[in-house]
Each structure stands twice: as C-alpha cells, then as structure tokens.
Amino acid sequence: MSAVAPGDVPAPPQASAAARAEAEEADDAAVRLSGVEVVARRGAAKTPPETELGPGEIEALGAYDIGEALDRISSAYGITEPPVVIINGRRVQNAGDYLSFPPDAMTRVELLPEQAAGLYGADPGRRVVNIVLKRSFQSRDAQLAEARPTSGGRSSFMGDVRRSAIADENMSQLGVRLTHDTSLRADERPDYLRDNPQSLGVVLKPKNTSVTGNMSVNRRLGEWQGSFSATARAQRDETVSRRGDALAGIQGRQQGLTLNAGGNGDIARWSVRAAIDGQLSSGSQEGLTDRKSNNRSVGLNLSADRPLLTLPAGRLTMDVSGRVSKTSSTNTIEGEKTERSAETADIRGGLSIPLLRAPQPGESAGRINLGGAALNLSGNLRRQSGSGGGGGVNGALMWSPHKILRLNGSWARSYDAPSDQQLFDAPFYGTPIVVFDFATGQSVEILPLLGGNPDLKGQTNERFSLGLSVGPVTPWRLSGNFSYRTSDSRDGISGLPALTPAVEAAFPERFQRDPDGRLISVDQRAINLLSSRSDTLASGLNFIVPFDGKGPPGLSTSSLRVSLNHTLQLKSVTVIRAGYPVMDHLAGDGGGSARNTLSATLDARRDKWTLNASARWRQAYRTRRDTGADGPNDLVVSDLTRIDLKLGYMFAAKPAAPAQAGEGGAPPMRISGLRLGLEIENLLDARPRARLGDGRPAPGYGRDDQDSLGRVARVTLRGRF
C-alpha cells in the first residue's frame, strides 16, 4: 500500500512508477516501510522555507558560482549579514567548500524563516539559507573576463578554471583563478590633474596581480562525513604616491595558505561537527615604509546539537559550540622587529524552545489555532590573552499566527574584545585618496595609515529589533517585510569620523601636516568611540512574474523577479570622547549620513537570454564644519543614483542527463552552455558631487576625485569543457 493524502486519486501503476523515478532523480526520496511508501522531500530543512528558488530562478541570477548567486539573493531580500548556509538541510563542517560550485549543481535554494536560526545553532536574527544539491553532478568550467572603464586608462583581466564533482554525499573540487589589473595614472584623467596639479606622476589605482588556488574534498567515512580544504593565494601590487615634493614607489606582496580538516556525524543522539584549521600568511611593503610581517594561527572547533525532549509544540533543541585558537605574528618595520602572540577560547550554547505548534496538513480543525511560535535563547563567553574576556546573551521570539504572516523580535547584549587583526596587524600606507580639509577649505591628496591599533579596548553592544513579514501570496509569490532596529554601543570600535576640526581636536595625533599646514597623512586605524546609537526602519517587497503565464514561476521557461528595499535612518548619534558634544550625523555632525536609501534588483530570463539589473539611490546629506550649526563652509553632498546592468546570452547547452534534470519536472538549467555576458557597472557614469554650504563648488569633488573609474564595461565568456 502507499500513503495517499485524503481526496487524492491513486495514479495508474505506470504513472506512479514514472513519478517515483523522476522524484528519485530530482527532488524527492521514496522509502518503503512495512508496505507503506513514504515520500519525503530530499534535502528538506527542519522547518518549511519562507521563500524558495527553483532551477528557473537560479538560472535567471546569471551567476558563475553558488557564492555569487547567494550574494545576489541576499541583496534582493535585504539580508545585511552573511547568512548561515546549510547543505541538503543539514549543517556541515565547512559550508564554504560548496560556494565555488557552479549554480546548476543546485536543485533549489531555500530561505528559511527567522526561527530557523536557533534550530541550526546560529544567533537569533541571522537568516539561514538551505542549498539543496543534485545527487550526481560533474563539470569542468572556465570563465574569462576583460573590463575597462569607458574613460579609458585601465584594464582588468580575470581567468578562472575549476573542476567540480558530486556523487551523493561525496564532493570534490579543484580550481585556479588569476586576476590582473593595470594601474591608473593621474595623467590619464585630465580633469583630475587640472584640479590636482601636484599629482603629476601619481597612481590613482594600483597595479595588482593575484593568483588563487583552491581544493576541497568531502567523503562519506562510514557513519561520518569527512572534509578537507586548502586555499593558497599570492598577490603583488605596485603604486606611486607623492610625499612632500618627491614621488615614491610602493611595492607590496602578500602570500597566504589556509587549511581546514574535519568531519561531522552522530554520537549518542548528538549531531557533532569537529575541525582543525590553520593559516599561514606573510606580507611585505617597500617604499615609504619598509615592513615585513608573518602571521600564523591554528584553531580547533567543536559544535554539537541534539533534541533534549519533546514538548506539545515540538522538540526542544540544544546546541553547543566551542573554539580554541592560538595566533602569533612577527612584524619588522624599518628594521625594528616586534613579536606578539594571543590565545583565544570561545564557548557558546543555545536553546530552541517551541511554544506553539501550527496545525499540520491533514489535521482536524477542532482546536483553537494560534499559529506557531518559538523562543531562541543563547549565550557565549570569550577569553583572549592580552585583551581580557568577553561574552554576551541574546534571545528571539518568533510567532506565525498564519502560514503567510510572521512576527519576530530579538534582543542581544555583548562585550567583544578587539580581534587579533585589529590589534596586531602591521601598520602600512594605503592607496592615496582625495579628501576635503575643512581646516583649510581645500582638497588634498593624503596617504591613509592602515593596520592594527594595540591600544584598542573592548566594546559593548546592545541590539534590539522587531520585524514583520508577509507572504508569499498570489501566483506571483508576492512577499513583503518590515523591521525596526536599534543599536547602542559603548567604546565602539570604529574608523575615524569625518576629518572636521572637532575630530582633529579630539584626535590630534591622527593628523599629520607639513610646515605650511597642509594635510599630508591621516592615521585611519581603528579607534574607540565613547558611545553611539542608531535607529533604523527597513522594508522590502519581492515578487516573481512568469512571462508566459503558464504554471508556477519555478516551472516557467521565462520569468521576471523584482525586489525593492528601502532603509530610513531615524537616528544616528555619536559621542567621540568624554567632554565632547553629541554628534548628530543626520544633521551633519562628525560626518553626514543619508536619511534614506532605496535599492531595486531585477532578474529576468527568456529563452537563451538573461538580464540582471541593480539600482541604488542614496539621499543627499550635509557634513558640518562646526558641530551643532550649519555654515557656509559645510560640505553638502548631492544624492547619488547608481545602476548596474548585466546581459547574458546562452549560445547552446548540451542535453541534461536524467540525474541533472530540474526539480519536479522543471526544465533543466542551461548554465552549462557557452555563455557570453556584457556587464555595465555604473551605467549612468554617476560620480559623487558636492557643493559648499553657500553654494560654491566643493574642492575635492571634481569628476574623478572620488571615483576615478566611473562607468566600467566588462565582457565575460563562460563555458563547460
């Protein structure tokens, strides 16, 4: 016998056999228990998805790999933090191993609701994305890209080759990527050189060459899944800057190797993941400051989760994780050698507590339906040698009174010590930048000093959010979300605020001027700000339209997905040091902040064509010269609209093997064919513009001052061999 939902009519035996074969090759798994056939969806997560993208929508993203596809999805759905990635409904030791796979290795992508964070050991408020892979997949892919600004003067090349394979739970990949950017000189931008004649011979964008190789292997080892990955990278850059009356060439080199080995499996009802990782890196810079650095780190990670007991509303789940690591660094600057080391230990625990259970399909409607609700609680402790400890607690409450309506709230408080990089990275000079010097009313080209700050102390953060999401509804899968977020920090670790007289008075040691008072360098390493507060409203709208109107969007051969997101900044204030006044950034103190930003994305496909467009608008804002009052020497930055466009054409695609067919009868993706792409970044050639408070043109905001590249055209060729 087979399990048939009430009201279903059994299909003919031949049709049932065909459906089972198609399910096994695509998305479902059939299991026979005591004569009863149970069909479960392959790769299903612990909770149903809030939004799902099938083969057609994945193809419309126009992505080269899964990581690029996730970036596009995150942008469309307003996900601001990197999501937690699970594979086939389960946590794996290193989800990053899968992000460089081709997107047609996926059967579907699921965005899980907010309550899934606790189910998968993540902090409340983080989104979880479930990537469901095909059972069998093999490919050898290559991509070539050439990019140039339409104003000329620079070229960028990228070449990538990779081999990928999936066989049930076994996975392997090997890849190499080469990038090369030529330099952009000031004399290749006449407008810039006219406004900055002292920059003759200076390089605006450095020459850069990098090579990256990666390999990863995942294998089933009895009841466990073992993994190993390695990434090696080498980079070299060259630039020329002016220091006083002389030009100085700067050459930099960096090399690094990252290794990760581990496994995941089940022990006494615990789902366990363990791994060891290591990193070796070295870097050097010759020119203004001769420096060399060597860094070494090793870490041990352990995490586990299990259901503790079954409540009327569902399973109460506990998760624990821990990490111990040791980092050491050696820095040599102008012949002076410094050695540092740090040991860090972290431990985290969380509970996911179901409070209400929503009615399941097929259940009688005799009881009062309050929907589903869950509570997530977690806490962590951190100990770091040399910089004390840290820790925090957070919680989130989620309630879904209806299957299309979800409400959530979260609160978190934490104390975080500075990272090893923030403390110990060797100082170095970055690429020259043009800034407006309020003290002189002139624009100047400066050398920013970057790196670590050993004087940093820990920061305390408190965050609160309330959110509402609705949908998907209608055949267009219309969905929307609305959220309110606040953030308070004490001794927050941040970059230097805008270079106003008030900021220079608070941090005079950060500004370097020549005998004539001309600003020549600014120390932009991280600092502690006494306190800050921000309040934000965010909203979003998404829908998918099938062009031909036949069936659900995931099964249509043509579709269009549109996403709209809006952010309204309600409050943004900072106190930089004790005894200094509150800086209202929305009013323009200490660096202005735009009150409104809008973004829109569009992903469309029709036959062999794909179109991807992104638009972002930022409202104008003011930066005051003097805190607390508008003045004629303020900097008023105009609003800015940027549009990026990508058009792709698939010349041909080989017929897909049954194992590579789409989900549930959907047409197979044609990402495997030869694909030609044309990308236009900054289609309108928009550049940051500004004027002074009395209407005069603002120095440092000429056509090429803040953005020397402008519109960039890129041609890509992708293929499978």
- Write the pLDDT tens digit of every residue in 374-402: 898 999 998 877 666 788 998 999 899 98
Sequence ranges of the domains in the chain: 1-42
Mention every residue, 6+ apart, whose C-beta is less than 8 A from residue 95. Answer: 85, 86, 87, 131
Residue 335 has a pLDDT of 78
**DSSP states along 219-257:** EEETTEEEEEEEEEEEEEEEEEEEETTEEEEEEEEEEEE
Higher pLDDT, 158 or 628: 158
pLDDT of 671 reads 60
Percent of the chain whose pLDDT exceeds 90: 46
User: Are 460 and 491 a contacting pair, CB within 8 Å?
Assistant: yes
pLDDT at residue 419 greater than cutoff 80? no
Q: At a CB cut-off of 8 Å and minimum separation 6, what does 419 contact?
A: none
Q: Is the pLDDT of residue 24 over 50?
A: no
Distance CA 215, CA 167 (A): 17
Q: Six-digit token pair at 364?
A: 């009688």
Cα–Cα distances in angstroms (integers) from residue 396 to residues 46, 90, 221, 296, 352, in the given order:
18, 22, 37, 37, 10
The reported pLDDT for the residue numbered 136 is: 93
Interval 190-212 mean pLDDT? 90
CA distance 163 to 176: 10
Average pLDDT of the chain, as a whole number: 85
Q: Higher confidence at residue 94 or residue 4?
A: 94
Residue 15's pLDDT is what?
A: 37
Residue 545, strand partner residues: 560
Q: Which two tokens stand for residue 456?
A: 């940093």
| DSSP H/E element including 295 | strand 291-311
Structure tokens at 642: 């940027």
612-629 burial, b if ≥16 CB within 10 A, otherwise e? bbbbbbbbebbbbbebee
User: In the structure, what pLDDT confidence band is assigned to residue 545 with cuts at 50, 70 and 90?
Assistant: confident
Is-contact 112 376, C-beta < 8 A?
Answer: no
Single pTM value for the model: 0.84
Geometric angle at alpha carbon 389, from 383 and 395, rounded to 5°:
95
pLDDT at 362: 57
What is the 8-class DSSP label of residue 150? T
Gap between the Cα atoms of 630 and 624, Å rounded: 6
Where residue 669 falls among pLDDT bands split at 50, 70, 90?
A: low
Band of residue 655 on the pLDDT scale cut at 50, 70, 90? very low
Among left, alpha and beta (phi > 0; psi -120 to 50; other), residue 597 is beta
AA identity, residue 402: H
Least confident residue range of 113-127, 224-238, 306-320, 636-650: 113-127
Q: What is the pLDDT of residue 208?
A: 95
| pLDDT for residue 387 | 63
Cross-strand partners of 183: none
d(CA 281, CA 262): 21
Lowest mean pLDDT, pick from 67-81, 148-162, 375-389, 548-562: 548-562
pLDDT the model gives residue 8: 35
- Digit-coded pLDDT (tens) for 487-506: 999 998 988 888 888 888 88
Q: Of 186-190, 282-286, 333-337, where does mean pLDDT reach its minimum?
A: 333-337
Q: Which residue has the tokens 């402008």?
A: 710
The residue type of 170 is: N
**Whether the Cβ atoms of residue 2 and residue 37 lie closer than 8 Å to each other:** yes
How much is the pLDDT for 360?
66
pLDDT at site 12? 37
CB 601 within 8 Å of CB 75: yes
Beta-bridge partner residues of 143: 160, 718
- The first and second tokens of residue 44, run together, are 């299903």
pLDDT tens digits, one per residue of 694-719: 999 998 898 898 999 999 999 999 99
Q: Tens of pLDDT along 32-81?
A: 444 444 456 788 888 888 888 888 889 889 899 999 999 999 988 888 88
pLDDT over 70 for what percent of the chain?
88
Single-letter residue type at 693:
G
